C-alpha cells in the first residue's frame, strides 16, 4: 500500500493500544526534549537584536521543529527494524508543517512593525495552520469539514455554508498578506534607489501599496464567488461618505501627492508653516512632520501646506541670513560698535565668510541707535536661537571692555511751576 496520509492515520489508530506504542511515545518525547534543550541553549547564546534580524529571526522560529524532526527521523530509523513506527511517521510531517507554518507567520513581521499585537497574531496564525494540518493527517479533518459544510444558510438561491465563508476569508487574508509582503520588499528597493529624488521615491512608495492591494482584491474576490459589479453600490456609498464626512481626509491625501509632484518642499528643507519653523523630516499620506530647533515635532496636515503660505528657507539655497538687532546709546561710537559686532560674528564657527557678516544702521530711535547684524549660515535646520545667544554673549563682553553703552529706555519728566499761590 502506498504511503499516504490516510494510510498513516489508519495505522496510527490501529497501533494506538499496542505495547510498542509506549516505546514510540517515549522516543518522541525524548526527541522533543532534546530539541527544546538545544533551542534554548542556542537562544541563550544569541543576542535579542541578532536573534530577530532577517534570516536569524526566521531560523530561530524554525529551529525547534527542524531539530525535532531530524531527531525523530533518526529515532524512526533506529526503531524501524524492531517494531512499528506509526507514531513517528505521523510526527515527521507534523513537525515539518510546524516549521513551514512558523516561516509563513514570520512574514507578518516583514509586513507590520514589531509589537505585542503582531507577536500574538503571528503565533495564532502559526498554530492555526499547524492545527488544521494535524487534523488532516490524523484523519479527523473530513468529519470537521462535513460539520462546517452542513452549517449553512441561503441568500436567495445561493447556499452559503460556514465552510465556504472560512475558505473565502482564509484566501483573502493569505492574498493580502502576500501582497503586503511583496509591496514592502518593493518599497525597500525603491527607497534605496539613490539615483531617484527623495520626493519621487516617497511618492512611488505611497502609490505602490494601495495599487497592489486593489489589484489583489480584484483578483481574489471573483475567485471566492463575489461579483465585482456588486461593489458598485459600495463604491457609490463610499463616494457619498467622502463627499460629506471624509472630505478632509481625502483632501489631505490628495494634497500629499500634489506636494510630492510640484517639489515645493522636500525632506530636509527648513520651512516655516503657519507658526512652526524647523526641518521637514517626514512626509506621509496625511501630514508632514516639521522638527523644530528645540526638538519638538509638529504634525501639519497636507492641506495646510497647500492652502497656507509656506516659507521655504532652503528652497534654492541652504544659506540663510540671521538678523541680530542691537541698540546702542547716542553717547557711544557707532563705528566701534560696528567693529565689535563684526568681530563677534566672524569668530563664530557657524558664520559664513561669503557672504560676509554685515552691520547696518536701521534707525535713530528715541532710546538710541538701532543697529542690525546680518550673519549668513548654511545649517538653518539647527535654528538661529543658539547662534544669537553666542553672539550676544560675545558682544556683551566686548561692549563692557570698550565702554560701549547699550541703550535703555529713558523718560524726561519736567515739573512746571505757576500753580496757585500757597500751593
For the CA atoms of the chain, what is the radius of gyration? 37
Q: How many CB atoms lie within 10 A of CB 59?
A: 15
CA distances from residue 298 to 277, 291, 301, 402, 408 in whole angstroms, order as listed: 9, 6, 10, 44, 37
| pLDDT for the residue numbered 252 | 79
What's the CA gap between 291 and 165, in Å, rounded?
48
Strand order in the sheet with 369-377: 320-328, 369-377, 358-364
CATH number of 227-316: 2.30.30.60
Pairwise CA distance, residues 89 & 81, whole Å: 14
Q: Would you say 371 and 328 are in contact if contact means Cβ atoms under 8 Å apart?
A: yes
- Predicted local distance difference test score (pLDDT) of residue 188: 76
The Cα 163–Cα 108 span in angstroms is 25
**What does pTM read for this prediction?**
0.45
Contact by Cβ (8 Å): 91, 28: yes
SS (H, E, C) the chain: CCCCHHHHHHHHHHCCCCCHHHHHHHHHHHHHHHHHHHHHHHHHCCCHHHHCCHHHHHHHHHHHHHHHHHHHHHHHHHHCCCCCCHHHHHHHHHHHHHHHHHHHHHHHHHHCCCCHHHHHHHHHHHHHHHHHHHHHHCCCHHHHHHHHHHCEEEECCEEEEHHHHHHHHHHHHHHHHHHHHHHHHHHHHHHCCCCCCHHHHHHHHHHHHHHHHHHHHHHHHHHCCCCHHHHHHHHHHHHHHHHHCCHHHHHHHHHHHHHHHHCCCCCCCEEEECCEEEEEEEECCCEEEEECCCCCEEEEEHHHHHHCCEEECCCCCCCEEEEEEEEECCCCCHHHHHHHHHHHHHCCCCCCCCCCCEEEEEEECCCCEEEEEEEEECCHHHCCHHHHHHHHHHHHHHHHHHCCCECCCCCCCCCCCCCCCCC
Kindly report the length of the chain. Answer: 423
Nearest CA among 154, 168, 139, 162 for reference residue 5:
139
pLDDT score, position 423: 47
CATH of 320-402, one of 3.30.70.100, 3.40.190.10, 2.40.420.20, 3.30.70.60: 3.30.70.100
Which set of grid coordinates corresponds to residue 167?
475558505
Nearest CA to 206 out of 326, 287, 147, 152 is that of 287
Domain ranges for the chain, please list them: 5-150, 227-316, 320-402
Asked if residue 329 lies in contact with residue 391, where contact means CB atoms within 8 angstroms, the answer is: no
Q: How far is it, in rounded angstroms, from Cα 216 to Cα 183?
A: 11
Cβ proximity of 252 and 301 under 8 Å = yes
Whole-number Å distance between alpha carbons of 31 and 91: 11
Q: Phi/psi zone of residue 55: left (φ > 0), alpha (ψ -120 to 50 degrees), beta?
A: alpha
Q: Which residues contact 392 (CB under 8 A, 6 or more apart)?
A: 324
Sign of CA dihedral 34, 37, 43, 44: negative
Q: How far apart are CA 332 and CA 352, in angstroms?
A: 28
Residue with the three cell numbers 505495547: 19
Q: What is the pLDDT along the chain (423 residues), one digit of tens a residue?
A: 444 555 555 555 555 555 566 777 788 788 888 888 888 877 776 554 444 554 566 677 778 888 888 888 888 888 776 766 777 777 777 777 777 777 777 766 665 555 545 566 666 767 777 777 766 666 666 666 677 767 776 666 666 777 777 777 778 877 877 787 788 778 777 777 777 666 667 777 777 777 888 888 777 777 766 666 656 666 666 666 666 666 777 787 788 778 877 778 888 788 888 888 888 888 877 888 888 877 788 898 888 888 888 888 777 777 888 889 999 998 899 999 999 999 999 999 888 888 889 999 999 988 889 999 999 888 876 777 788 899 999 999 999 999 898 887 666 677 776 555 554
Amino acid at each position: 500500500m502506498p504511503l499516504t496520509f490516510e494510510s498513516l492515520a489508519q495505522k496510527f489508530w490501529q497501533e494506538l493500544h499496542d505495547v510498542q506504542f509506549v516505546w514510540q511515545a517515549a522516543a518522541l518525547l525524548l526527541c522533543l526534549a532534546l530539541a527544546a534543550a538545544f533551542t534554548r541553549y542556542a537562544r541563550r547564546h544569541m543576542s535579542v537584536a541578532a536573534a530577530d534580524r532577517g534570516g536569524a529571526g526566521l531560523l530561530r522560529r524554525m529551529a525547534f521543529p527542524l531539530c525535532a524532526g531530524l531527531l525523530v527521523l533518526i529515532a524512526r530509523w533506529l526503531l524501524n527494524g524492531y517494531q512499528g513506527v506509526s507514531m513517528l511517521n505521523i510526527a515527521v510531517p507534523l513537525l515539518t508543517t510546524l516549521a513551514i507554518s512558523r516561516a509563513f507567520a514570520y512574514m507578518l513581521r516583514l509586513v507590520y512593525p514589531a509589537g505585542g499585537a503582531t507577536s500574538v497574531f503571528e503565533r495564532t496564525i502559526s498554530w492555526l495552520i499547524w492545527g488544521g494540518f494535524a487534523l488532516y493527517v490524523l484523519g479527523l479533518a473530513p468529519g470537521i469539514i462535513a460539520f462546517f459544510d452542513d452549517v449553512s444558510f441561503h441568500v436567495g438561491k445561493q447556499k452559503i455554508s460556514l465552510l465556504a465563508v472560512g475558505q473565502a476569508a482564509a484566501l483573502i487574508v493569505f492574498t493580502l498578506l502576500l501582497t503586503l509582503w511583496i509591496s514592502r520588499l518593493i518599497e525597500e528597493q525603491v527607497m534605496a534607489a539613490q539615483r531617484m529624488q527623495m520626493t519621487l521615491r516617497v511618492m512611488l512608495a505611497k502609490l505602490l501599496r494601495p495599487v497592489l492591494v486593489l489589484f489583489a482584491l480584484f483578483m481574489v474576490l471573483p475567485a471566492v464567488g463575489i461579483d465585482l459589479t456588486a461593489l458598485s453600490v459600495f463604491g457609490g456609498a463610499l463616494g457619498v461618505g467622502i463627499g460629506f464626512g471624509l472630505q478632509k481626509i481625502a483632501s489631505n491625501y490628495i494634497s500629499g501627492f500634489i506636494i510630492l509632484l510640484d517639489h515645493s518642499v522636500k525632506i530636509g528643507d527648513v520651512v516655516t508653516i503657519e507658526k512652526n519653523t524647523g526641518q521637514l523630516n517626514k512626509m506621509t499620506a496625511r501630514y508632514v512632520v516639521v522638527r523644530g530647533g528645540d526638538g519638538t515635532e509638529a504634525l501639519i496636515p497636507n492641506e495646510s501646506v497647500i492652502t497656507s503660505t509656506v516659507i521655504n528657507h532652503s528652497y534654492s539655497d541652504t544659506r540663510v541670513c540671521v538678523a541680530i538687532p542691537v541698540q546702542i546709546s547716542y553717547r557711544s561710537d557707532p563705528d566701534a560698535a560696528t567693529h565689535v559686532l563684526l568681530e563677534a560674528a566672524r569668530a563664530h564657527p557657524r558664520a559664513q565668510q561669503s557672504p560676509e557678516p554685515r552691520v547696518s544702521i536701521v534707525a535713530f530711535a528715541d532710546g538710541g541707535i538701532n543697529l542690525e547684524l546680518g550673519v549668513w549660515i548654511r545649517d538653518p535646520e539647527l535654528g538661529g536661537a543658539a547662534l544669537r545667544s553666542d553672539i550676544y554673549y560675545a558682544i556683551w563682553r566686548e561692549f563692557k571692555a570698550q565702554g560701549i553703552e547699550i541703550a535703555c529706555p529713558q523718560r524726561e519728566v519736567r515739573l512746571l511751576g505757576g500753580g496757585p499761590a500757597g500751593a
